[in-house]
Amino acid sequence: MLVACALFVVVLAAILPFFPLGSKNWEVAATKTELQQHGRIGMEEILHELLYAYEISADPAKGSVTYYKKNSGNLKRYRLYLQGQQLLLALPEGTSVPLAAHVESFWLEPAGKLQAGQTLTVTLTMSQAEQRITFRSSIMPKNVAVEG
């Protein structure tokens, strides 16, 4: 029994120094995973919202995009914007819905009103606890050339 205890102490002494390193790596991986989830969901929602828009006007300096979609046969105004570290969707009813957290920047190109046949490039940078992930995608909205 004494030999087993001594052997256990030796093994434990060899393993214990690695626990803080493992814990730190676990925290970094958990942060990266959370950022990837927020970024993926946020980008998916942005692209889904803009795909069927009839008019899109991007203001990268303010980190916002205003667009119009048909709702019950009428064009309604929507807006995606950055407030603090949250990406929000402003609905026509006046309420805002959060789409993603931990957003460092929300950038759109080209700036101004999107013309028929133009591609809109969306860049979403997420950051938390010294970790940073950037998502970039492009979309050509289907209804920009169509009159509302």
Each residue's pLDDT tens digit, 104-113: 999 999 999 9
147 — pLDDT class (breaks 50, 70, 90)? low
User: 2-49: per-residue pLDDT in tens?
Assistant: 888 878 777 777 776 776 777 788 888 888 999 999 999 999 999 999
Consecutive H or E run containing 120: strand 120-128
| For range 122-145, the mean pLDDT | 92
Nearest 5 degrees, angle CA 92-CA 71-CA 47?
Answer: 80
Task: Please report which helix (H) or strand (E) contains residue 44, including its range.
Answer: helix 19-51
pLDDT at 54 over 80: yes
pLDDT band of residue 50 (cuts 50, 70, 90) is very high
pTM (predicted TM-score): 0.79
